[in-house]
Amino acid sequence: MDDLRDKYIALIADAADEASIEDLRVQAVGKKGEIALKMRELGKMTPEERQVMGPKLNALKDEINSALSAKKASLADAALEERLRSEWLDVTLPGRGRRQGSIHPISQVTEEVSAIFADMGFAVAEGPQIETDWYNFDALNIPGHHPARAEMDTFYTHRAEGDNRPPHVLRTHTSPVQIRSMEKIGAPIRIICPGRVYRADYDQTHTPMFHQVEGLAIDKDISMANLKWVLEEFFTAFFGTSVKTRFRASHFPFTEPSAEVDIQCSWENGSVKVGEGDDWLEVLGSGMVHPKVLAAGGIDPNEWQGFAFGIGIDRLAMLKYGIPDLRAFFDADLRWLRHYGFASLDQPTLHGGLTR
């Protein structure tokens, strides 16, 4: 019995996990375990021997059982300790910084422009960047032979051999959205349409893709005076200072009369300041919507009239934020983006302020 006892106490002490404890339990005190075998031998003993051995065997069984449960508990404790150690977290460590993107000046200015015109009752409209030649040209009173088509350096899409339909174009201006809005809304209309436009041109002041915002107001008695007021109101809000405008007679096939609009500026050693001085900078084309254009959009030119304008957004961004080279806008240079970009929470509103 002493051998049995020493053997199991040692084995239990060495057990590495709960499974080996269970094996030992079956071997020692299970129904067919070593103690049970010993118990069976009691039957062959004399009553005197049995009286001594019986309680001894029971005591041994109890001793082994309690060694087993003590070991089991200490293994569970050790496992918990180990988990606590391995899952330990230092909450005092400084956080890992996350790279933050910024809002591109074009997006920022688009939001600013939209906020200002929204305040004057203009809704934002959109149209596709790949246009039919009807919306981009014909409906705007630019027929096939018109020199304006050639002047615009249009990108044409490819048609399959034998397909004689006129090719789609990358829109050369946002003016096709005038027609789409007339068809969709009918008169009266007050919309702006900011968006991308495309022309095959590339130098310091031209990129093959750039941005315009179209404006269109149609009603019963809209005149050039309304156009001038709206534009001056816009520039003053946008630049945060009163800005004089100069209307120069011009020509666009889709407006009559037409005017190019300059804003007052000054040049000081190579950089431009808006709203002061006696130089002028061209920023947009505009005019009274041509009757043929109204008709193409399904609006009766005998009943309705209106003005339209197209402003270069990129130019506005360069002027307001002192960005010298247009091409850098589209180089995706992270250093440039971090320098000229805006924080994502700086959403421009008229009341919250348009600039940082």
User: Are β-strands 255-268 and 271-274 bridged in parallel, bridged antiparallel, or unpaired?
Assistant: antiparallel
Whether the CA torsion 176, 117, 299, 225 is positive or negative: it is negative
Q: How far is the CB of 355 from ligand PHE (least distance, A)?
A: 26
205 token code pair: 């002041």
Q: Which of 108, 110, 154, 175 binds ligand PHE (CB under 6 A)?
A: 175
Q: Which of 33, 176, 253, 285 touches ligand PHE (CB under 6 A)? A: 285
Residue choice 137, 235, 252, 340 for contact with ligand PHE (CB under 6 A): 252
According to CB under 6 A, which one of 149, 168, 171, 173 is a site residue for ligand PHE?
A: 173
When the beta carbons of 175 and 264 are compared against ligand PHE, the nearer one is: 175
Q: Shortest approach of ligand PHE to residue 285 CB, angstroms?
A: 3
Whether the CB-CB separation of 201 and 153 falls below 8 Å is answered with yes
Residues 253-272 that bind ligand PHE (CB under 6 A): 255
User: Would you say 283 and 316 are in contact if contact means Cβ atoms under 8 Å apart?
Assistant: yes
* Pairing between β-strand 245-252 and β-strand 209-219 as defined by DSSP bridges: unpaired
| Sequence-ordered list of residues with C-beta below 8 angstroms from that of 329, at least 6 positions apart, any chain | 104, 105, 106, 207, 314, 317, 323
Q: Which amino acid, one-letter code, is at 255?
A: T
- According to CB under 6 A, which one of 238, 309, 340, 342 is a site residue for ligand PHE? 309
| Binding residues with ligand PHE: total (CB under 6 A) | 10
Residue with smaller CB distance to ligand PHE, 287 or 297: 287
CA geometry: angle at 22 spanning 21 and 26, to 5°?
115
Nearest CB to ligand PHE, comparing residues 112 and 214: 214
Among the listed ranges 115-123, 291-299, 305-313, 323-331, the one in contact with ligand PHE (CB under 6 A) is 305-313
Q: Does residue 222 touch ligand PHE according to CB under 6 A? A: no
Nearer Cβ to ligand PHE, position 195 or 348? 195
Provide the minimum distance between the beta carbon of 213 and ligand PHE in the complex, in angstroms, as a whole number. Answer: 10
Nearest-angstrom CA–CA distance, 212 and 172 = 10
Peptide bond into 253 cis (omega under 30): no
For residue 103, which phi and psi values (nearest 5 degrees)? -80, 125
Among the listed ranges 13-21, 104-112, 293-301, 306-314, the one in contact with ligand PHE (CB under 6 A) is 306-314
Long-range CB contacts for residues 328-334, cutoff 8 Å, separation at least 24: 329/104, 329/105, 329/106, 329/207, 330/207, 330/209
- List the structure tokens of 184: 């969709």
117 binds ligand PHE (CB under 6 A): no
User: Which of 310, 318, 329, 340 is close enough to bind ligand PHE by CB under 6 A?
Assistant: 310
- Shortest reach from residue 199's CB to ligand PHE, in Å: 9
Residues 6+ away with beta carbon under 8 Å from 111: 347, 348
- Residue closer to ligand PHE, measured from CB, 154 or 255: 255
Give the nearer residue to ligand PHE in terms of CB position, either 287 or 348: 287
Q: Are strands 189-198 and 123-124 parallel, antiparallel or unpaired?
A: parallel
Residue 287 binds to ligand PHE (criterion: CB under 6 A): yes
Cβ-based nearer residue to ligand PHE, 212 or 264: 212
Stretch that binds ligand PHE, among 57-65, 85-93, 187-195, 302-310 (CB under 6 A): 302-310
- Residue by residue, DSSP assigns 144-170 as TT-HHHHHTTPPBPP--TT--SPPPEE
Cβ distance to ligand PHE smaller for residue 251 or 339: 251
| Contact set with ligand PHE (CB under 6 A) | 173, 175, 252, 255, 285-287, 308-310
